[in-house]
């Protein structure tokens, strides 16, 4: 193989990966600072790395998201995001050297910001990127065609609140990536017309269990994927062959979780949320099952169409999913079973979110509790566009672009949009756009993670750090778009001229 | 197959309708006037029927009947009785006011009140203020639960006489309100626009509450009839940039939606507007020992960005006390930046800067070495791009500091007076406060 052919192959690979390059740049570019949800996760990471404990006591004044267990303050979140952040956090300590080994060193705020930025990208950003890659592969496997698959991938990764939550250290994107990973393992086997191998079954168990233990409500969606795989063939022989590897895969995160809760709360069979201390949370969590009671119509409208937290308001292209699901589950579709499980995941997730006392996610962009199932909504929207043929791409472009623009405006300004009256609030038009008009982007709220010594100026982006003015800094990565797509466009034009 | 086609057609229509609806919402959002939404609900209680949004909860022989002048809350109860009008459920905002307009009688058995009711798992929680207008002086009772969740802790504070400075109440329409200030951890009863002493509470923003207006009657007697014409719940704005304020203090009362007045319970303190003379601030420490905030007048919350503040002051006397102007932010620790006018050793007045401004979050007090006239204008210019605060006296720059408060933090304006030590006293008039973003 000559150097030239190698270079060609590398270029071709890079060309195929161009939407992912855009996504990676966008995810790495923005940093949102912190707030209680992230602070409690950072605090646990720091406690594990620096003190070898799960007690976040020294940092607890900086977050309201905390629980009480075995005589100490603990994080009220699942430990997996904090555990995922451990290597990146430990690496920043190694790079910074012993002099600045503690994150509460207030002498170097720019350095601290860079370290937090790095840790967030290494967990949420990479999880979002992996989600985008999996989404692209599933879309191609479902016969979307390259162009449409890329468009839908960009729509999913940059035109939904997956973009927003890939720039903060929450668990939604990581959990969503794990869920989609499990779905991909199953879909890949189905597309190849075979059953799961044992290693695949172990991987499926691991991914689905980890998804459900990273964000507990996602356990229901993970169970649906498991049922989908189980429904392929119900036989004793198959159960004997696959059940053990699935259980072995699932046992690993379950054991880690049990060890964590045993050490932090004194029981292997409890959840951190059961021990929350803030009355505002404990009163909410005490309703129904961990705060989930009967669905409410106002919450349903709130998470779907409202200007406050509506997913279709924020990402109009996802509205195509309604029609897309009707086609995906229709008898004629080759991937009907996948359509059934995807629609079940979306319906159950929406119903659970509309039943949750904090359906709006407090400080959030759109309905953050739906982030993990957004990939299935976006796939269904893609099915609608796929079935429209050539017109589908044009319609997709017309709906995906405004979605990306909206999310870009929001992510550059403020992801932790405030809690407001759901009936009248419109944070996009009342907070985000005025901030852009004033040039106050990012628009920092008070940074509650004083655990890391940074206060209200923690939200930033790489352009600002490079000294660009706020609006230019917020838009700088958009310049990549023509660069990445210039070559294929030029090639197409050349071909057309040649044809003439 | 037919069912599937039908479902697809229906789903297609729903998709189109959703897209059109979302487009319409975006258009409405883009065209809607006003920089920031304020959640507000004003229920006009006058009319031939009860408003549909209103819930009525009556027991013991009192009821609610509609009339042209308002809802008549009354009856002839044989014993203790209560009737409540409950407005729409809403999320409790950090800063909120519930007000009712009522025509009261002077029957000492009857109480009229307004407030908030939260429905939780462990039963109802409430925080209300009730007025009993009986002669010779009215009584205001702040009553209910200290917090909306957690262990129950009742709160009850009766305000009367000198504490309220409200004289005999005439018959006719009056406005009774309860302002909730969660950052400060207080509720402030307000009668006819006049704030009464605040009562500490620990309610938390985000709780689902219903505004309530109620009438209670104790024991048998003559028939009860209280006419309520308005019930309003208003979320007070938390603007993104500094609010535009041009306050001359020429009204009879301070606008409770704009300012929260906190008065020390010790000593004798007064913050009284009116008479075209500006806001009178007067205080005598009495037995108060050491430093004590005497009067604090707090503005609405906003996200710290560039602003310009001008305050015209006339200082009649200032002894062991300070007049203060500035900003504060309350998260878990209160941070502030304030300019104080204090007595100088030479007998005149001088300026101090107090708060967090050293870059390390530590509290500091630093004399500016600048004299201040008895009648003068104090200016504060905050430049968010540079993070600096310029101090001016009568239009001249006298100092520049860099507050530790950062751009984008939620802050409030605060002015007032402090007793610096035992025996402190002050008397000053604030002629105007102007703020421009």
pLDDT tens digits for range A155-189: 999 999 999 999 999 999 999 999 999 999 999 99
**3-state SS track over chain B:** CHHHHHHHHHHHHHHHHHHHHHHHHHHHHHHCCCCCCCCEEEEECCCCCCCCCCEEEEECCEEEECCCCCEEEEECCCCCEEEEEECCCEECCCEEEEEEEEEECCCCCEEEEEEEEEEECCEEEEEEEEEECCCCCCEEEEEEECCCCCCCCEEEEEEEHHHCCCCCCCCEEEEEEEEEECCCCEEEEEECCEECCCEECCCCCCCEEEEEEEEEECCCCCCEEEEEEEEEEEECCCECCCCCEEECCCCCCCCCCCCEEEECCCCEEEEECCCCCCEEEEEECCCCCCCEEEEEEEEEEEECCCEEEEEEEEEEEEECEEEEEEEEEECCCEEEEEEEEEECCCCCEEEEEEEECCCCCCEEEEEEEEECCCEEEEEEEEECCCCEEEEEECCEEEEEECCCCCCCCEEEEEEEEEECCCCCEEEEEEEEEEEEC
Six-digit token pair at B197?
């002493």
A326, pLDDT greater than 50: yes
Closest residue, chain B, to A307 (C-alpha): B25
Which residues of chain B make contact with A106, given a CB cutoff of 8 A? Answer: 360
Give the confidence band of B331 by pLDDT, cuts at 50, 70, 90: low
If you average pLDDT over every residue of chain A, what do you get? 88
Q: What digits encode the pLDDT tens for the residues B263-274?
A: 887 778 888 876
C-alpha–C-alpha distance, residues A422 and A454, integer Å: 31
Highest mean pLDDT among A189-203, A291-305, B380-394: A189-203
C-alpha–C-alpha distance, residues A372 and A442, integer Å: 26
C-alpha–C-alpha distance, residues A368 and A361, integer Å: 6
Which tops the pLDDT comparison, A127 or B303?
A127
Cβ B232 vs Cβ B141: under 8 Å: no
pLDDT at A226: 97
For residue A326, give the nearest of B8, B241, B331 by CB distance.
B8
B424, pLDDT greater than 80: yes
- Residue B350: closest CA among B328, B365, B335: B365
pLDDT at B14: 96
Pairing of strands B110-120, B95-104: unpaired
Six-digit token pair at B290?
């050491």
**What distances in angstroms separate CA B44 from CA A306, B85, B111, B168, one per listed residue?**
27, 12, 21, 27
Which residues of chain A make contact with B331, given a CB cutoff of 8 A? Answer: 446, 448
Contact A62/B90, CB-based, under 8 Å? no
Between A28-42, A473-487, B95-109, B245-259, the lowest mean confidence (pLDDT) is in: B245-259
Long-range Cβ contacts of B1-8 (<8 Å, 24+ apart): B1/A331, B4/A326, B4/A330, B4/A331, B7/A326, B7/A330, B8/A323, B8/A326, B8/A327, B8/A330
Between A30-39, A438-447, B419-428, the lowest mean confidence (pLDDT) is in: A438-447
What is the pTM assigned to this prediction? Answer: 0.63
A284, pLDDT greater than 70: no
If you average pLDDT over every residue of chain B, what do you get? 84
How many A/B residue pairs have CB atoms within 8 Å?
138
Quick count: other Cβ atoms within 10 Å of Cβ A95?
A: 11
C-alpha–C-alpha distance, residues B263 and B283, integer Å: 10
- Residue B303: closest CA among A229, A266, A457: A457
Cβ B183 vs Cβ B94: under 8 Å: yes
- The SS3 call for residue A485 is helix
Cβ B313 vs Cβ B376: under 8 Å: yes
Residues A200-221 have a mean pLDDT of: 97
pLDDT at B291: 81
Which tops the pLDDT comparison, A461 or A58?
A461
Min CA distance, B212 vs chain A (Å)?
18
B63, pLDDT greater than 60: yes
A106, pLDDT greater than 50: no
C-alpha–C-alpha distance, residues B358 and A258, integer Å: 47
Q: Which of B3, B15, B151 to mutate to test the interface with A (most CBs of A within 10 A)?
A: B15
> Cα torsion for B163, B164, B165, B167, to the nearest 10°?
-130
Cβ B87 vs Cβ B39: under 8 Å: no
For residue A419, give the nearest of B10, B22, B206 by CB distance.
B206
pLDDT at A105: 44
Closest residue, chain B, to A425 (C-alpha): B37
Q: What digits encode the pLDDT tens for the residues B84-96?
A: 999 887 778 878 8
Burial profile A393-408: b = 16 or more Cβ within 10 angstroms, e = fewer: beebbebbbbbbebbb
Q: What digits encode the pLDDT tens for the residues A380-420?
A: 999 999 999 889 999 999 999 999 999 999 999 988 887 77
A444, pLDDT greater than 80: no
- The SS3 call for residue A69 is strand
Pairing of strands A66-69, B40-44: unpaired
- The SS3 call for residue A356 is strand
B351, pLDDT greater than 80: yes
What are the φ/ψ torsions at residue B13 (nearest 5 degrees)?
A: -65, -40
Contact B23/A455, CB-based, under 8 Å? no
pLDDT at A148: 95
Between A15-19, A33-37, B35-39, B147-151, the lowest mean confidence (pLDDT) is in: B35-39
pLDDT at A110: 64
Question: Residue A313: which residues within 8 A CB-CB, separation 6 or more?
Answer: A305, A306, A307, A366, A428, B22, B25, B26
Q: Which of B1, B7, B10, B11 to mutate to test the interface with A (most CBs of A within 10 A)?
A: B11
Report whether the peptide linkage leading into residue A85 is cis, meaning its omega lies within 30 degrees of zero. no
**DSSP for residue A53:** S
C-alpha–C-alpha distance, residues A204 and A186, integer Å: 8
Which residues of chain A make contact with B207, given a CB cutoff of 8 A? Answer: 280, 283
Name the burial class of residue A391, with classes exposed (0-12), middle (13-18) and buried (19+) by CB atoms within 10 angstroms of its CB. Answer: exposed
Residues B280-284 have a mean pLDDT of: 91
Min CA distance, B39 vs chain A (Å)?
6
Residues 387 through 426 of chain A touching chain B, CB cutoff 8 Å:
399, 419-426
**What distances in angstroms separate CA A251 from CA A184, A200, A246, A267, B100, one per listed residue?**
20, 15, 8, 17, 60
Question: Residue A456: which residues within 8 A CB-CB, separation 6 or more?
Answer: A33, A444, A445, A446, A447, B304, B406, B407, B408, B409
What H or E segment, with its residue span, contains residue A165?
helix A161-165
Which residues on neighbouring strands pair with residue B418, listed in sequence order?
B293, B322
Distance of CA B280 to the CA centre of its chain: 19
A98, pLDDT greater than 50: no
Cβ B380 vs Cβ B326: under 8 Å: yes
Residues A70-88 have a mean pLDDT of: 94
pLDDT at B165: 66
- The SS3 call for residue A145 is coil
Six-digit token pair at A490?
């030029």
Cβ A267 vs Cβ A261: under 8 Å: yes
pLDDT at B274: 67
The proportion of chain B whose per-residue pLDDT surpasses 70, expressed as a percent, equals 91
Residues A446-471 have a mean pLDDT of: 64
Question: Residue B217: which residues within 8 A CB-CB, separation 6 or more?
Answer: B60, B62, B77, B80, B81, B82, B109, B110, B111, B224
For residue A283, give the nearest of B30, B93, B120 by CB distance.
B120
Give the confidence band of A279 by pLDDT, cuts at 50, 70, 90: low
Six-digit token pair at A15?
């060309």
Which tops the pLDDT comparison, B347 or A300?
A300
- Residue B8: closest CA among A70, A174, A17, A324: A324
The proportion of chain A whose per-residue pLDDT surpasses 90, expressed as a percent, equals 61
A452, pLDDT greater than 60: no
A283, pLDDT greater than 70: no
pLDDT at B79: 86
Residue reference for tokens 């466009």: A489
Give the confidence band of A107 by pLDDT, cuts at 50, 70, 90: very low
Give the confidence band of B251 by pLDDT, cuts at 50, 70, 90: confident
Quick count: other Cβ atoms within 10 Å of Cβ B159?
A: 19
Distance of CA B355 to the CA centre of its chain: 24
> Cα torsion for A92, A93, A94, A96, to the nearest 10°?
80
Residue reference for tokens 């006049």: B194
Residues A214-225 have a mean pLDDT of: 97
Q: Which of A60, A61, A280 to mutate to test the interface with B (most CBs of B within 10 A)?
A: A280
């Amino acid at each position: 193989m000559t150097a030239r052919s190698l270079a060609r192959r590398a270029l071709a690979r890079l060309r195929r990966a161009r939407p992912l390059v855009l996504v990676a740049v966008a995810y790495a570019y923005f940093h949102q600072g912190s707030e209680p949800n992230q602070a409690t996760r950072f605090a646990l990471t720091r406690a594990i790395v620096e003190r070898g404990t799960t007690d976040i006591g020294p940092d607890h004044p900086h977050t309201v998201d905390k629980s009480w267990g075995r005589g100490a303050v603990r994080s009220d979140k699942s430990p997996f995001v904090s555990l995922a952040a451990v290597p990146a956090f430990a690496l920043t300590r190694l790079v910074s050297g012993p002099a600045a080994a503690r994150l509460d060193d207030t002498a170097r705020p720019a350095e601290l910001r860079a370290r937090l930025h790095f840790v967030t990208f290494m967990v949420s950003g990479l999880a979002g990127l992996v989600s985008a890659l999996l989404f692209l592969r599933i879309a191609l496997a479902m016969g979307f065609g390259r162009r449409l698959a890329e468009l839908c991938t960009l729509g999913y990764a940059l035109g939904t609140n997956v973009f927003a939550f890939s720039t903060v250290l929450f668990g939604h994107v990581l959990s969503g990536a794990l869920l989609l990973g499990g779905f991909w393992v199953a879909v890949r086997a189905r597309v190849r017309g075979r059953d799961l191998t044992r290693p695949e079954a172990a991987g499926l168990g691991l991914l689905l269990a980890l998804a459900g233990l990273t964000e507990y409500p996602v356990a229901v969606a993970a169970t649906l994927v498991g049922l989908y795989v189980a429904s392929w063939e119900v036989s004793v022989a198959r159960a004997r062959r696959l059940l053990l590897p699935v259980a072995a895969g699932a046992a690993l995160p379950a054991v880690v979780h049990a060890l964590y809760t045993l050490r932090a709360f004194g029981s292997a069979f409890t959840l951190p949320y059961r021990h929350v201390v803030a009355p505002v949370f404990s009163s909410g969590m005490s309703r129904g099952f961990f705060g989930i009671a009967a669905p409410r119509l106002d919450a349903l409208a709130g998470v779907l169409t409202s200007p406050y937290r509506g997913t279709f308001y924020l990402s109009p292209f996802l509205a195509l999913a309604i029609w897309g699901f009707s086609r995906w589950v229709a008898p004629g579709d080759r991937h009907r079973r996948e359509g059934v499980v995807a629609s079940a995941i979306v319906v159950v997730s929406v119903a659970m979110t509309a039943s949750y006392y904090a359906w709006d996610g407090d400080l959030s962009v759109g309905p953050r509790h739906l982030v993990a199932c957004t990939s299935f909504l976006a796939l269904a929207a893609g099915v609608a566009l796929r079935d429209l043929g050539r017109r589908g791409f044009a319609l997709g472009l017309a709906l995906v672009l405004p979605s990306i623009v909206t999310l870009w405006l929001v992510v550059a300004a403020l992801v932790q949009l405030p809690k407001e009256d759901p009936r009248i609030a419109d944070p996009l038009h009342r907070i985000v756009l005025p901030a852009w008009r004033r040039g106050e982007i990012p628009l920092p709220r008070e940074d509650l993670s004083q655990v890391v010594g940074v206060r209200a100026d923690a939200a930033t982006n790489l352009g600002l750090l490079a000294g660009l003015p706020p609006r230019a800094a917020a838009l700088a990565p958009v310049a990549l778009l023509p660069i990445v797509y210039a070559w294929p466009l030029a090639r197409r034009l050349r071909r057309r001229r040649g044809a003439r | 197959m037919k069912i599937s086609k039908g479902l697809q057609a229906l789903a297609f229509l729903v998709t189109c309708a959703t897209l059109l609806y979302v487009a319409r919402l975006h258009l409405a959002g883009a065209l809607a006037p006003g920089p920031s939404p304020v959640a507000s609900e004003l229920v006009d209680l006058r009319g031939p029927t009860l408003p549909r949004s209103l819930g009525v909860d009556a027991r013991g022989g009192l009821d609610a009947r509609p009339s042209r002048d308002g809802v008549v809350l009354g009856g002839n109860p044989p014993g203790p009785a209560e009737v409540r009008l409950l407005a729409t459920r809403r999320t409790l905002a950090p800063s909120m006011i519930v007000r009712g307009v009522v025509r009261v009688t002077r029957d000492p058995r009857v109480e009229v009140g307004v407030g908030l009711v939260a429905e939780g798992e462990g039963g109802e929680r409430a925080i209300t203020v009730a007025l009993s207008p009986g002669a010779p002086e009215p009584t205001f009772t702040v009553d209910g639960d200290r917090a909306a969740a957690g262990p129950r802790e009742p709160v009850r504070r009766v305000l009367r006489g000198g504490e309220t400075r409200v004289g005999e109440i005439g018959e006719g329409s009056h406005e009774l309100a309860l302002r909730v200030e969660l950052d400060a951890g207080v509720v402030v009863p307000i009668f006819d626009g006049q704030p009464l002493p605040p009562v500490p509470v620990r309610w938390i923003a985000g709780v689902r509450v219903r505004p309530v207006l109620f009438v209670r009657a104790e024991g048998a007697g003559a028939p009860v009839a209280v006419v309520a014409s308005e019930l309003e719940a208003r979320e007070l704005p938390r603007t993104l940039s500094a609010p535009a304020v041009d306050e001359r203090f020429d009204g009879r009362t301070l606008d409770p939606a704009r300012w929260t007045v906190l008065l020390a319970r010790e000593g004798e303190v007064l913050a009284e507007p009116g008479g075209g003379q500006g806001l009178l601030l007067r205080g005598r420490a009495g037995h108060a020992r050491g430093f004590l905030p005497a009067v604090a007048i707090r503005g609405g919350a906003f996200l710290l960005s560039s602003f310009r503040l001008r305050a015209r002051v006339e200082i009649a006397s200032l002894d062991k006390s300070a007049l203060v102007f500035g900003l504060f932010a309350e998260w878990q620790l209160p941070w502030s930046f304030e300019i104080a006018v204090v007595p100088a050793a030479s007998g005149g007045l001088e300026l101090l800067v107090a708060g967090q401004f050293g870059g390390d979050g530590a509290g500091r007090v630093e004399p500016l070495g600048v004299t201040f006239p008895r009648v003068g204008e104090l200016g504060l210019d905050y430049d968010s791009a540079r993070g600096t605060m310029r101090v001016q006296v009568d239009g001249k720059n006298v100092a520049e500091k860099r507050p530790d408060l950062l751009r984008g933090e939620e802050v409030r304006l605060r002015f007032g007076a402090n007793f610096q030590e035992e025996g402190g006293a002050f008397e000053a008039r604030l002629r105007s406060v102007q703020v421009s973003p």
